[in-house]
């Protein structure tokens, strides 16, 4: 049985991580075998990703597919300090982005625990990752071995680093733990907001009724609010925020955080399109977007109704005062 398990997790194979037993058998990345991590809800990846997924198979690659159950067991057994926060995300309504945020968080911990390369399912490899310059450098360059790399994003309105492609030559890079604590702090703030009371203007009083954070728990607004803030809580912007916080505190941990070239590892960005990159291309299938208009309809409908009601009241108010004004003008 052990012999069969060893064959299943050997280099060149696709390994499905669907629970704690799979996690316990998974080796860390090494010079001889690069772990390439991807994730999906279950072991059944949609057919539209099969061609892209196959581009990452290689004799020197251990291709690891994580499921939602594998993610949950990883958190509960190896990062129990965050299990309640992770459960908080999973408890959100399915159309609120909770599963997406959980997946974003888990992918960071793949690399912290096992090292290797993480790529989204909508990435295509043009060159085997074991032949990428940065991977080859990690074989004999100690500085590269202790670093972590994030693909540089072309979408600078929302982010600088992306979590769609990340490389950690070795497990244990502390930056991933810093990002985890940043996510934890954000979720704690949403749960227990600290908002100065503007009425006092002295900052001494604190109001528990924070307009922004209240939208996360209000039954009419929570789904849309969580969905709109998905990226800010666990996605690419949290990488940028964590980096900035560490820089301001003078932490040496950011000295080993680097960017991977957009044109090499993401795609050549033109005025209206993204073309193939040198080593890999992100084709942006946006598999995490699962908006369900029917389920969101109560929230959207209420918003529309309140907006229309507000406009009607405004029109009534303006019309009333206009009649009063004309009446006064006629008398004079």
- List pLDDT tens digits, range 69-119: 999 999 999 999 999 999 999 999 878 889 999 999 999 999 999 999 999
pLDDT confidence bin for 155, thresholds 50/70/90: confident
pLDDT confidence bin for 206, thresholds 50/70/90: very low
Q: Over the chain, what is the mean pLDDT?
A: 84
Question: What size, in residues, is the chain?
Answer: 332
157 CB burial (10 A radius; 0-12, 13-18, 19+):
exposed
Rounded to whole angstroms, how far apart are CA atoms 117 and 112?
11
List CB contacts of 100: < 8 A, sequence separation 6 or more: 230, 234, 288, 290
pLDDT confidence bin for 136, thresholds 50/70/90: very high
Element (DSSP H or E) covering residue 329 = helix 293-331
pLDDT of 40 higher than 50: yes
Would residue 116 be called left, alpha or beta, if left means φ above 0 and alpha means ψ between -120 and 50 degrees?
A: left
Please check whether residue 171 is in contact with residue 112, taking contact to mean a CB–CB distance below 8 angstroms. Answer: yes
The pLDDT value recorded for residue 160 is 93
List CB contacts of 323: < 8 A, sequence separation 6 or more: none
If you average pLDDT over residues 9-16, what whole number do you get? 90
The pLDDT value recorded for residue 325 is 54
The pLDDT value recorded for residue 216 is 79
The pLDDT value recorded for residue 195 is 66
According to DSSP, the residues that pair with 125 across neighbouring strands are 280
CA 180-182-94 angle, to 5 degrees, is 70
Residue 237 three-state SS: helix
Rounded to whole angstroms, how far apart are CA atoms 110 and 99?
16
If you average pLDDT over residues 43-67, what whole number do you get? 96
The share of the chain scoring above pLDDT 70, in percent, equals: 78
If you average pLDDT over residues 129-135, what whole number do you get? 97
pTM equals 0.81
Looking at residue 158, what DSSP letter applies?
A: T
The 10 Å CB-count burial string (b at 16+, else e) for 97-129 is bbbbbbbbbbbbbbbbbbbbbbbbbbbbbeebb
The pLDDT value recorded for residue 295 is 47
If you average pLDDT over residues 155-170, what whole number do you get? 92
């Amino acid at each position: 049985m052990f012999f069969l398990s060893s064959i299943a997790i050997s280099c060149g194979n696709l390994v499905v991580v669907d629970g704690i037993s799979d996690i316990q058998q998974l080796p860390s990345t090494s010079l001889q075998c690069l772990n390439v991590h991807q994730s999906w809800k279950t072991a059944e990846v949609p057919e539209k990703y099969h061609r892209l997924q196959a581009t990452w198979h290689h004799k020197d690659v251990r291709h690891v597919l994580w499921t939602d159950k594998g993610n949950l067991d990883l958190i509960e057994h190896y990062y129990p300090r965050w299990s309640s926060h992770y459960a908080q995300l999973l408890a959100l309504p399915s159309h609120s982005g909770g599963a997406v945020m959980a997946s974003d968080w888990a992918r960071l911990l793949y690399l912290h625990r096992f090292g290797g390369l993480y790529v989204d399912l909508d990435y295509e490899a043009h060159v085997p990752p074991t032949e990428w310059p940065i991977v080859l450098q990690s074989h004999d360059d100690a500085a590269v071995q202790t670093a972590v790399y994030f693909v540089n994003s072309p979408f600078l309105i929302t982010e600088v680093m992306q979590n769609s492609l990340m490389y950690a030559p070795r497990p244990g890079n502390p930056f991933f733990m810093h990002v985890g604590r940043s996510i934890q702090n954000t979720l704690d703030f949403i749960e227990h907001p600290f908002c100065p009371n503007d009425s006092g203007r002295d900052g001494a009083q604190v109001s528990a009724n924070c307009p922004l954070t209240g939208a996360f728990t209000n039954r009419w607004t929570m789904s849309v609010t969580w969905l709109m803030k998905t990226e800010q809580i666990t996605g690419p912007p949290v990488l940028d925020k964590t980096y900035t916080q560490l820089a301001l505190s003078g932490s040496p941990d950011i000295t080993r955080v680097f960017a991977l070239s957009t044109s090499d590892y993401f795609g050549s960005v033109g005025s209206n399109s993204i073309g193939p990159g040198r080593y890999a291309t992100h084709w942006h299938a946006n598999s995490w977007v699962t908006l369900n208009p029917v389920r969101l309809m109560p929230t959207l409908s209420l918003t529309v109704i309140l907006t229309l009601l507000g406009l009607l009241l405004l029109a009534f108010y303006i019309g009333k005062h206009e009649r009063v004004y004309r009446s006064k003008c006629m008398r004079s």
